[in-house]
Amino acid sequence: MKLGFIGLGIMGKPMVRNLLKAGHEVVVFDIMQENVAAVVADGAKAGTSAKDVAAQCRTIITMLPNSPHVKAVVCGENGISEGAEEGDILIDMSSIAPLVSQEIGAECEKLGVKMIDAPVSGGEPKAIDGTLSIMVGGDEAVFDRVKEDILLKMGASAVYCGGLGAGNTTKLSNQVIVALNIAALAEALMLAAKAKVDPALVLQAIQGGLAGSTVMNAKGPMMLAHNYIPGFKVDLHIKDLTNALETAHKVGAPVPLTAAVMEMLQTLHADGCGQDDHSALAKFYEKLTGTQIG
């Protein structure tokens, strides 16, 4: 199948590579030419613009940083809307505000283009090995058409969550849980450190119990090693929690814990740690106490 793919950042590149491994022909575009060159070397074909990609492909995937980028790529000059045809499918795998997904979907509908929102969880490691968790909103018939041959070539699971925007609502819920989980882990390990109990042994002891989690397994060792090479950056989590807070305020959902962790992340950003992995929430506690976890 010939697919378009726009957005070749830390997640997009490995996702394209998995589509190529599955036998798809992939036409790509990104404003960073080095990103395009990286996947062209693996067998992808370069498009000259989002419009050009849409003109060549009847199914287009976008993986972009945030709501304004998706709006511009879909609806802006030389965008997907200028090259798309009636009956095309747009799969937006970016993590954006649910209400913006619905706005973009309404513009696509005017052109006869079917849009689904399909954000992912798992970060770069799972993008590389093709085991992302994919959360989907939109027309369920469109989801059924693309699930096996496209989505499950990039992910281990793809779950239909409801109408357009439901995928991003699910992703925001995921990001709230992940952020709070990382903050709780950092807080607990700092408690151990201040109490003169080895945080590494505490982590080992509790991993198999009720407190154990995928977040703990992935981020605990990073905190102990002070390894903040990003799998998912602080600044990206700030973006997601901004969308979560805005959405929560619009629908009337109370999110006091999310707001608290957002302030921690904003402190890290102000301290120049925005490009660190979000496990750098440990640095927030180290700054408060003058004590290192690892």
More confident residue, 10 or 143: 143
Please, which residues have CB within 8 angstroms of residue 42's CB and are 6 or more apart in sequence? 16, 17, 20
Q: Cα separation of 83 and 90, whole Å?
A: 12
Average pLDDT of the segment spanning 50-68? 97
* Per-residue pLDDT at 124: 87
pLDDT tens digits, one per residue of 176-210: 999 999 999 999 999 999 999 999 999 999 999 99
pLDDT tens digits, one per residue of 153-163: 999 999 999 99
Examine the pLDDT at 28 and tell me if it is beyond 90. Answer: yes
Examine the pLDDT at 294 and tell me if it is beyond 90. Answer: no
More confident residue, 82 or 231: 82
Examine the pLDDT at 122 and tell me if it is beyond 90. Answer: no
Which one is catalytic: 13, 171, 219, 239?
171
Q: Cα separation of 131 and 171, whole Å?
A: 16
DSSP 225-239: HT----SSBHHHHHH
* Per-residue pLDDT at 289: 98
Min mean pLDDT across 45-49, 99-103, 134-138, 229-233 is at: 229-233
Average pLDDT of the segment spanning 206-215? 96
Q: Cα separation of 150 and 63, whole Å?
A: 14
Let me know how long the chain is.
Answer: 294
- Taking CA atoms, 52 is separated from 5, 212, 263, 276, in Å, by 11, 47, 41, 35
Sign of CA dihedral 100, 102, 106, 108: positive
* Per-residue pLDDT at 48: 97
Examine the pLDDT at 231 and tell me if it is beyond 90. Answer: no
Identity of the amino acid at 294: G
Average pLDDT of the segment spanning 13-23? 98
171 among known catalytic residues: yes
What is the pTM for the complete model shown? 0.90
pLDDT band at 52 (very low <50, low <70, confident <90, very high): very high
* Per-residue pLDDT at 179: 98
* Per-residue pLDDT at 185: 98
pLDDT tens digits, one per residue of 60-93: 999 999 999 999 999 999 999 999 999 999 999 9
